[in-house]
Amino acid sequence: MDDTAQALIAAKRAAGYQAADMVQDGMILGLGTGSTVLYALERLSLRVREGLQVRGIPTSYQTARRAYEYGIPLTTLDEEPVPDLVIDGADQVDIRLNLIKGRGAALTREKCVAAAGLCLVIVIDEQKLVTTLSAPVPVEIIPFAIRPVMTRLESLGCIPVLRDGVKKDGPVITDNGNFIVDCGFDGVDNPKELETALAGIPGVVESGLFCCFTEKTTVIVGSKKKCKIITSADIVP
């Protein structure tokens, strides 16, 4: 493993561990999906073995399996509809704390848990903090409507690409039984407006734009040296 890869792992681990250390005894946690969140789970597992009492709401089967392996007790939004703290990752975060999420195809459940939680903690490495969102925007679509939805997406000025599976033939299938389309825009200058437009297309379940949670969002940016913490108070009007 080269130095760059090792530095990236160290940054992700630092961010994930710091988020896990924010957890207090008795909390209900939203547990996101992705490589940086796995480091948070790793640290949480140690704290649970030391006596920390928590329960987690996983946003994907992958996270549920890993939490089970780590001995982190699980619950659901039915049982605990208001999580105290949600720990999740992001593909990109802009300077106003708007997010693009969904590379793990768990964006719909992640958005449900983020909306329900009192506090959203996003763990990322430095490469994912940007001035303007530019990564492809994942959109979850019901299979029945895939063709008309892709036509509507094109009319918004993007190049929509149906995400293919890895080590399987055919498209990625989400935990909800739907398809993922990755929408390539030439920069996302108004993410909130785009999120609203995507939500208004019949057949779209959710998009990977998270623009409505900035006031309760804390971003932990990991690096090789130390973590940087950004909150809504740091946003310049």
For the chain, give percent helix, strand, coil, nearest 5.
Answer: 35, 25, 40
119: helix, strand or coil: coil
Ramachandran region of residue 167, left (φ > 0), alpha (ψ -120 to 50) or beta?
left
Catalytic residues: 110
Tell me how far apart the alpha carbons of residues 173 and 169 are, in angstroms, rounded to a whole number: 11
To which residue do tokens 């996270």 refer? Answer: 63
Are residues 174 and 105 in contact, defined by beta-carbon separation less than 8 angstroms? yes
